[in-house]
Amino acid sequence: MPPESVSDTNGDERAAPEPDAPEPDAPEPVAPEPVAPEPDDKDWTWTLTRVCPECGFDAAGIERVAIPALIRDAISRFPEVLARPDATERPTPQTWSALEYACHVRDVCRVFTERLELMQREDHPHFANWNQDATALEQRYGRQDPQVVSGELAASGEAVAVAFTHVRNDEWERDGSRSNGSEFTVESLGRYFLHELFHHVWDLKG
């Protein structure tokens, strides 16, 4: 992907960038909301079978039992990234700051925990759509506190690692599908999720 775009390995519906809107109760002058990065509509499921040429992650080579430890490895990179003095600054106007990436990864961990639990609980579930760009705008990722986000990301990352630890041997082949029709098993969901984590670590050179 081009360096100025945000990685979209989630593949869900994308929101059109919303026009900047001043807060009604904000003092003047009103700082404009940052522009939304250009949407990246590519389907990233190919990363389940091929090495990612950008971040170098080989999701196909991941063993099931290694998933929780690799999740923890990726998540452990973020406290240092969030402690950088420029963590809240966008490198370019269209590129998320480290803080915005960390907010996104925190929420990706929550979404994938929900998807995993849904696949364990129901037969052939359809995942609820998650619009990551709309979430970034609604939650004002760029205005969150890096230290708070660091703690929240550590917690959501640990929760999803624990959830994968608890997958039973007879659950790895349970399936589910995304809103764009892509189908996953519990195992491929875990490998796909890991690529997303490590791709964002690569985005941040973490």
Which residues of this protein are in contact with Zn ion, per CB under 5 A?
Answer: 52, 54-55, 199
Q: What are phi and psi of 42, to 5 degrees?
A: -65, 145
Cβ 57 to Zn ion shortest distance, Å: 5
Least distance CB 166 / Zn ion (angstroms): 27
SS3 content of the chain, % helix, strand, coil (to 5): 50, 5, 50
Which is closer to Zn ion, CB of 103 or CB of 194? Answer: 194
Query: Where do the H-state alpha helices sit in the chain?
Result: 67-75, 78-82, 98-121, 132-138, 146-165, 186-203
Task: Tell me the closest approach of the beta carbon of residue 192 to Zn ion, in angstroms.
Answer: 11
CB nearer to Zn ion: pick between 17 and 77:
77
Prior bond to 17 cis, omega within 30? no
Please calculate the CA angle 51-91-48 and round it to the nearest 5 degrees: 15
The residue of the chain with the least Cβ separation from Zn ion equals 52
Give the count of alpha carbons within 13 A of 203, CB side only: 29
Q: How distant is the alpha carbon of residue 27 from its chain centre?
A: 33
CB of 54 to Zn ion, least distance (A): 5
Task: Decide whether 50 or 126 has the Cβ nearer to Zn ion.
Answer: 50
55 versus 161: smaller Cβ distance to Zn ion: 55
CB of 132: closest distance to Zn ion in angstroms? Answer: 16
* Nearer to Zn ion among residue 33 and residue 58 (C-beta): 58
d(CA 87, CA 83): 7
